[in-house]
Structure 1
Amino acid sequence: MSLSQNLNRQILLKLLIASVLMFGFGYALVPLYKALCKVTGINVVTSKNDYGVRAYSPNKVGNTQVDYSRKVTVEFDSNSRGPFNFHPAKNFLEVHPGEMTEIVYEVSNKLDRPVQAQAIPSYAPKSATEFFTKLECFCFQQQTLAAYETRKMPVVFVIDAGLPDDVKTITLSYTFFEVGVPPAAPGATTPKSKALI
């Protein structure tokens, strides 16, 4: 075997190893991203399927049973960046773990043109995130609001009965922002919608 054939085989082997490693890295990105989100408490955009399946999976025993012996206060918060009035219908609800609950958020487009927007949820305390299951949410997809349109948007959720006993209050917060708008300059203030009682 000549030197050039040996060199070609070495290069081919290296390319094959690099291809396998790149494929493995690409395949591992999704679980790495989920692990990073769990560690940092970031829950940017979630899939309706993930939450719907998790809430009523037949493999999770007792997941649909309501625990009437305890109540959890769920507080609702809203923030907006852009031409919106955005707020929940109520500031808080008291719910039983395992009970399906609905809250409605209302948004109004203040511009004379259509606006495309997205909502990003966050939770406090961070430890409650895995026990808060949204079955229906306007945050699952982008929203297109017509000029001066006002829309009521429901969120249907279940607090898992496995929520630790020391968690008495959970805050669900949404930031609603116009898609495609560059971020605000450092130090700039952004309009904030206050929740109505």
Structure 2
Amino acid sequence: MENQTESTGKLNGRMFGKLAVIAVMMFGFGYLLVPIYKQICELTGVNILTSQEMKVKPIDNSQIDKSRTITVEFDANTTGPFRFRPTVSSMQVHPGEMSQVLYEVVNTQARSVEAQAIPSYAPQQAAAHFKKVECFCFQQETLGPNQAKQMPVVFYLDPALPRDVKTITLSYTFFEVAKPEKQATVKPATAG
């Protein structure tokens, strides 16, 4: 029986040793897994995690024609109870470059007003090449009593703009929108 207990003790000791070696190897493999994974990804070009590859370079907009500069002048006219003007009188832009200008409007009345802006362009041929992305002229504006508001125009000039056009004037006319009169309802006469 002692022989059997000794033999079982030796077997258990060997098994413990083998399990300890396996546990150390598993820990080492887990520890080395991240650097190994990075190396494999780098070699295959998949899921690159290196810091050099993670730096994102800004992409140049190839649609911008930096060889030309166009002067865009801004103008404002109004009909009605408003003070209306652009915040800048002009800016230099390259065709294809996104630009923004603000127009300011003040309702000088003590009542709410519905208003609309209509754009016009000079020279007329520039109208087809002046692309507005955002504009207060797309919809009617409601201004409260004595309210002041800044309204953006985000635009770009189509690179196909003729080369002889060096200056474009964007002009807005801001006017009060007449509210439709309520028609009196006429009751049909009853025969009596």
Shorter-chain TM-score bucket reads 0.5 to 0.7
Determine the C-alpha separation between the residues in 1 that align with 2:73 and 2:153.
13
Q: 1:92 aligns with which of 90, 96, 100?
A: 90
Determine the C-alpha separation between the residues in 2 that align with 1:76 and 1:137.
14
Structure 2, unpaired ranges of 5+: 1-60, 180-192
What is the match of residue 168 of structure 1?
166
User: Per-residue deviation at 1:164?
Assistant: 0.6
Give 1 or 2 for the bigger CA radius of gyration. Answer: 2
Identity %: 60
| 1:74-103 deviation per Cα after TM superposition (whole angstroms, max 9, x unaligned) | 000000000000000000000000000000
User: Per-residue deviation at 1:72?
Assistant: 0.2
The alpha-carbon distance between structure 1 residues 64 and 160, as it changes in their structure 2 partners (threshold 3 A), is farther
Q: Which amino acid aligns with 1:137?
A: C
Runs of 4+ in 1 over 4 A off after TM superposition: none
What is the match of residue 136 of structure 2?
138
What is the match of residue 154 of structure 1?
152
SS in structure 1 of the partner of residue 66 of structure 2: coil
| 1:83-131 deviation per Cα after TM superposition (whole angstroms, max 9, x unaligned) | 0000000000000000000000000000000000000000000011110
The answer (yes or no) to whether the contact 1:64–1:99 under 8 Å persists in 2 is: no
Aligned CA RMSD, in angstroms, stands at 1.6
Q: 1:126 aligns with which of 124, 147, 164?
A: 124
The alpha-carbon distance between structure 1 residues 108 and 170, as it changes in their structure 2 partners (threshold 3 A), is same
What is the match of residue 114 of structure 1?
112
What is the match of residue 70 of structure 1?
68
Q: Which amino acid aligns with 1:161?
A: P
Determine the C-alpha separation between the residues in 1 that align with 2:78 and 2:127.
22
User: What TM-score do you get using the length of structure 1 for normalisation?
Assistant: 0.59
| 1:125-160 deviation per Cα after TM superposition (whole angstroms, max 9, x unaligned) | 001111000000000000000000000000000100
User: What TM-score do you get using the length of structure 2 for normalisation?
Assistant: 0.61
User: Per-residue deviation at 1:179?
Assistant: 0.5
Q: Which amino acid aligns with 1:118?
A: Q
Task: Choose between structure 1 and 2 for higher RCO, CA contacts under 8 A separated by at least 6 residues.
Answer: 1
